[in-house]
Structure 1
């Protein structure tokens, strides 16, 4: 018989959980790595004005940029996976916010690169791209950048957009907290007539039940709960659409 109450994560067998410690071994290791990454943000400025000097100078920048954001992604995934274990835990809300802030600072410091690269003579840039050695790894990245030239703004504008990145996911973050922590679904009757707490995770199971009444009650309970919050959900969706429309406009895309 299924438990009426939703199980807490610590009550679930470890074999059903992701092994996030394979990515970052502990919270202490995360905090240490985060501080180390934060200390490297200022190093982006060392490359400003050097990208067109030679193939080697361009490669040095590309390697640093690659290594920085690969490490940033590792820490971002750890923080957000820990957060999504239980969205109400403030410690991991802070972790997710901390790594997001470090990445936004890095995007801001790194914002010179695309305008600087595209200010180069295209023939020279393509000659750099076609060189032997590690530069070949970045051929597609540079080729895509050239293709995006008409949508890349001045350094000053790119810097502003990079700094605005801390607000990019506001709508998504609000929805995640709303849908994963705050929303409260009612109980329904399962196939055995037992009262069970409905959740996003259990919804699919009951929607696939062989009992039509269970399917009907699960569907009605789920969408009645969401329906009572139509205005809130619409406001979150509108904020996401507004963000897409803004970036489409400033980067001169034909649509969002």
Structure 2
């Protein structure tokens, strides 16, 4: 009999998050919302006056800090309540009110950047002398001033703002095509039974042990995209053109420069990632050959890449056992880290189990001045234990940055967002491998990590290389036709996966289904974050306390300096190939052991 999913009211309170740490009641939230909107009116009252005096500028910035703290708490309560039971109309309405608060907050400070840019440099320097408290905001103001050379006149900015909605059109149209309009023929298994094929079911079908079903899902998905490939090519071409338009308008050398400038990351890091991964492609080719051998296949196809290549050795892990695994695996991070981790466990930061209507998946949401809130849907698997340590990595990163930084500098850049979570996973893998000599269990664990390397470091770098090629073609005035895109994508797949996999013609169309190509040079950060996490975990295990202290300083850094410098302080220098080399060398070592287990 299938296990029944309980209603929210049936859950033990200790397995739910302590939402009253934000507000004791919904009524208290409504009162806080009114206070927040009044605070925004006070902020808006500074419009036209930021350059009047040092006191005026300081007063606005202090109010802005307060609005970030109050708004963070306000929005988190509404969203967390909604995620507890997405069917609840009370919290649906509350989330809509929170969304309106976000819009109001944006409008209340829209004048900030142009007014600060209009303050003469000499006058701003004098402000620091008149109001020493402004020094706390110097980095914030310097970041705004850095944009000056890429900021247009008031008329030009208004024109670009008006064009912004048109710039979103390619991505929005692709999302509608991809999510709403595209349909696929059912996949058929070896018994002739049909399975509904959609974006939601595709990966689950590709993980099936039924090869007939996998092949059917693969071919039918790309048959759907083949029918709209010219439309997809036009949309991707329009995306690249609009990025180039805004880069040109703001006087950047390229769309890549424009995108990375926002996150304070030098473009050399993007190129370095691709070049270093290329150097390690032979190791990826070895992995593909090993997968083919382990699966006992005469021919390996792209639809064979997602199904486990090791017989399932998953084990049941209760939530209490998962917490103990986390304590043991993360012990190398020291007493302070474990103390905060334990605080999260005992003070109900975590919403553990599924209930009717609860949001799916998992996440961590930091809240300034309170604590993070972690959503899980725990089902007693080892994979869920990995999810726990992953999300607690995010949670402690947020907790430490919020504790040590002012509101202006607490939010860490997206470039480092996945480092702490993946570092925790790497430490858990190392701990589990250190605790078992049983070949089947070791093979299962190694397979888990090898797949992360393949899907995150190699595949996302391939995506990044393809996106860069698309951008460069556009910059040079070349058309992104479906034929050209398919040819380039097929070429990259041959380069990354090697000769041991059949060059299925369908894979050349994969570019057409990847929404991340509309995210403006986003995907490379998955690869750099993963490489950094592996390098950091290795340094922590190798060097102990000095590495731990550097790592905690990184976790506490927020955006108090640029993300590359923060990582350098933790011992990872992405301006060199070393971290990516180290991660991929470890991939090779894991591969060596897997081959030894196979031959043994």
Query: Which TM class, normalised by the smaller chain length?
Result: 0.5 to 0.7
Contact 1:171 1:239 in 2 (8 A): yes
Q: Structure 1 residues 117 and 215 mapped into 2: Cα distance closer, same or farther (>3 Å)?
A: same
- Cα distance in structure 2, aligned partners of 1:14 and 1:132: 55
Contact 1:108 1:162 in 2 (8 A): no
SS at match of 1:47: coil
RMSD: 4.9
- Cα distance in structure 2, aligned partners of 1:238 and 1:66: 40
- Cα distance in structure 2, aligned partners of 1:147 and 1:192: 63
Contact 2:58 2:133 in 1 (8 A): no
Q: Structure 1 residues 61 and 236 mapped into 2: Cα distance closer, same or farther (>3 Å)?
A: farther
Pairwise CA distance, 1:247: 0.9
Does 2:142 match 1:143?
Answer: yes
SS at match of 2:208: coil
Which digits, 9 at most, give the CA deviation of each residue in 1:180-216, with x for residues without a partner? 2221121012466431101112111222333332222
Q: Structure 1 residues 113 and 175 mapped into 2: Cα distance closer, same or farther (>3 Å)?
A: same
Contact 1:51 1:116 in 2 (8 A): yes
- Cα distance in structure 2, aligned partners of 1:235 and 1:58: 46
SS at match of 1:148: helix
Q: Structure 1 residues 170 and 109 mapped into 2: Cα distance closer, same or farther (>3 Å)?
A: farther
What residue in structure 1 maps to residue 275 of structure 2?
none
What residue in structure 1 maps to residue 232 of structure 2?
233
What residue in structure 1 maps to residue 166 of structure 2?
167
Contact 1:107 1:163 in 2 (8 A): no
What residue in structure 1 maps to residue 585 of structure 2?
none
What residue in structure 1 maps to residue 180 of structure 2?
181
TM norm structure 2? 0.31
Q: Structure 1 residues 251 and 230 mapped into 2: Cα distance closer, same or farther (>3 Å)?
A: same
- Cα distance in structure 1, aligned partners of 2:192 and 2:134: 64
TM norm structure 1? 0.63
- Cα distance in structure 1, aligned partners of 2:37 and 2:198: 38
What residue in structure 1 maps to residue 202 of structure 2?
203
The runs of at least 4 aligned residues of structure 1 exceeding 4 Å deviation read 12-15, 33-45, 63-72, 105-112, 126-135
Contact 1:59 1:135 in 2 (8 A): no
Contact 1:108 1:160 in 2 (8 A): no
Contact 2:128 2:134 in 1 (8 A): no
Which digits, 9 at most, give the CA deviation of each residue in 1:7-56, with x for residues without a partner? xxxxx9888xxxxxx89xxxxxxxxx999999998877643331122233
User: Paired residues, what number?
Assistant: 232
- Cα distance in structure 2, aligned partners of 1:236 and 1:40: 42
- Cα distance in structure 1, aligned partners of 2:154 and 2:109: 10
Pairwise CA distance, 1:123: 4.5
Q: Structure 1 residues 171 and 108 mapped into 2: Cα distance closer, same or farther (>3 Å)?
A: farther
Which digits, 9 at most, give the CA deviation of each residue in 1:136-185, with x for residues without a partner? 2x443312122222111122222332333333322222222222222112
